[in-house]
Structure 1
Amino acid sequence: MKNRSETLRDSIEEMIATGAVRPGEHLDETELANRFGVSRTPIREALIQLASVGLIVIRPRRGAIVAEIPPQQLVEMFEVMAELEAMCGRLAARRMSPEEQQRLKEVHLACREAADNRDPDDYYYRNEDFHEALYAGSHNAFLAEQARILRRRLRPYRRLQLRVRDRIGNSFNEHQAIVDAIGEGNGERTAELLRGHIMIQGERFADLIAFLNQLAPRTA
């Protein structure tokens, strides 16, 4: 069961992921405390937790601000994310039990419902369930935890990608190919598909950069 600071951490993280607060914006402890009806102590603890995964930066005399990622670093982080996911997929294709494969198919079908409704927010959460099923199927707890840490760090940018035209439909089709490759027990094919699913390059990179202005700090 989550304690208060962990619940607040998740709420503030959601604000960052949805763009309610944007890269470069200041996070005022008093305002957050008033917003959530708590004292500043659990807010401070939540901000420290978010700083530990790189979503915010805490600076002396400036307090907490939402972290900004330069485009080149963003590409590098997605490159690492792609390799972590590929490793999870390769292991999952070899190690998933029939029950775990059935679970993957179930969350995949949930993704289709969100894709059919063209709901990027719902699809985002269903997509999280899909990748969590892959991590579980890898049966490598350390690898899974590293993948989760980086996925969390990239949340605002992964979420933004789903608003690019046709990305939800393409993502779902990529999921289908991954499910098929796992069903065949083809680890190398699964790894290749996941690497392509995560990587941002070419048009996908250009689209993401074009949308980054949506996350730019608001000006008065």
Structure 2
Amino acid sequence: MNTESAPHAPTATRTAKALREVLEEDIAGGVYPPGTRLDEASLARRFAVSRTPIREALIELAASGLIEIRPRRGAFVREIGIRRLIEMFEVMAELEAMCGRLAARRMTPDEHARLVAAHEACARATESGDPSAYFEANGQFHEAIYSGSGNEFLAEQARALQSRLKPYRRLQLHVRNRVGNSFQEHEAIVAAILDGDDTRTEEALRAHILIQGERFNDFVASLRPRDGAS
């Protein structure tokens, strides 16, 4: 596959963070299948940038667990099978549920305001039909809950796994009706937190994160065209 002409190529002015996000989505979508070597020079040509931001982006991807940097061999895409992906989402659901339970008990009025502001940003993105904007607002929404838990160690663990699952969480938003359904789930979460109902918050967040049944089948189906193209 000619990756230099692959979609989503950022301009030369983009940062390592932006490059990392494009590569995350390409890895999750099968543009770079498991085992692929990510060559710095080829990526620099594709994105029309120097090798420095490429190297920084690869280091960030390695820290999140999506790729492996092997001494004297380069960077390679890690394999995350369907079973492993399910297991990771199950753990993510429990971490988020725990954050939500604590947040419902501990959030201050200022933290409530931050959560509501992120929820309103999600509403605007939903109304505009923009999955990318929703993804960014969704990140702020969940970060408000992590911070509001009042447990920094727990928040760190949630952020670390969220980072590793980020490309898959981004892709599932492209499944039909997922953005709208996600927003409705957010509304239930916000209402439970503002009511101070820790049990309801915990249950709503766990259900929000878990991918199961038809939803998971739809998500896997969304990956197949890209797999075939690769």
Instruction: Show CA shifts across 1:91-119 (max 9, x none).
Output: 10001001110111111011011001111
Determine which of 13, 18, 21 is the counterpart of 2:25.
18
Counterpart code for 2:100: G
Q: Distance in 2 between matches of 1:36 and 1:101?
A: 43
Q: Which moved more, 1:54-63 or 1:163-172?
A: 54-63
Query: Does structure 2 conserve the Cα–Cα contact (< 8 Å) formed by 1:93 and 1:186?
Result: yes
Q: Distance in 1 between matches of 2:215 and 2:91?
A: 16
Aligned to 1:193: 204
Secondary structure of 2:76's aligned partner: strand
Calculate percent identity across the aligned residue pairs. 57
Query: Does structure 2 conserve the Cα–Cα contact (< 8 Å) formed by 1:88 and 1:135?
Result: yes
Q: Which moved more, 1:184-193 or 1:61-70?
A: 61-70
Question: 1:170: how far off?
Answer: 0.6
Gaps of 5+ in 1: 1-6
Aligned to 1:151: 162
Q: TM-score, normalised by structure 2?
A: 0.84
Aligned to 2:3: none
Q: Distance in 1 between matches of 2:83 and 2:182?
A: 23
Determine which of 49, 56, 63 is the counterpart of 1:37.
49
Secondary structure of 2:175's aligned partner: coil
The 1:152/1:202 distance shift into structure 2, 3 A limit, reads: same
Query: Does structure 2 conserve the Cα–Cα contact (< 8 Å) formed by 1:22 and 1:216?
Result: no
Matches of residues 120-131 of structure 1 in structure 2 within 5 Å?
120-131=131-142
Gaps of 5+ in 2: 1-14
**1:117 matched to 2:128:** yes
The 1:89/1:214 distance shift into structure 2, 3 A limit, reads: farther
Q: Distance in 1 between matches of 2:149 and 2:223?
A: 33
Question: 1:47: how far off?
Answer: 2.1
Secondary structure of 1:64's aligned partner: strand
Q: TM-score, normalised by structure 1?
A: 0.87
Determine which of 74, 89, 95 is the counterpart of 1:78.
89
Q: Distance in 2 between matches of 1:129 and 1:105?
A: 10
Determine which of 40, 43, 55 is the counterpart of 2:66.
55
Q: Distance in 1 between matches of 2:182 and 2:86?
A: 18
**1:99 matched to 2:110:** yes
Residue-pair matches, total:
211
Counterpart code for 2:138: N
Query: Does structure 2 conserve the Cα–Cα contact (< 8 Å) formed by 1:181 and 1:190?
Result: yes
Question: 1:61: how far off?
Answer: 6.0
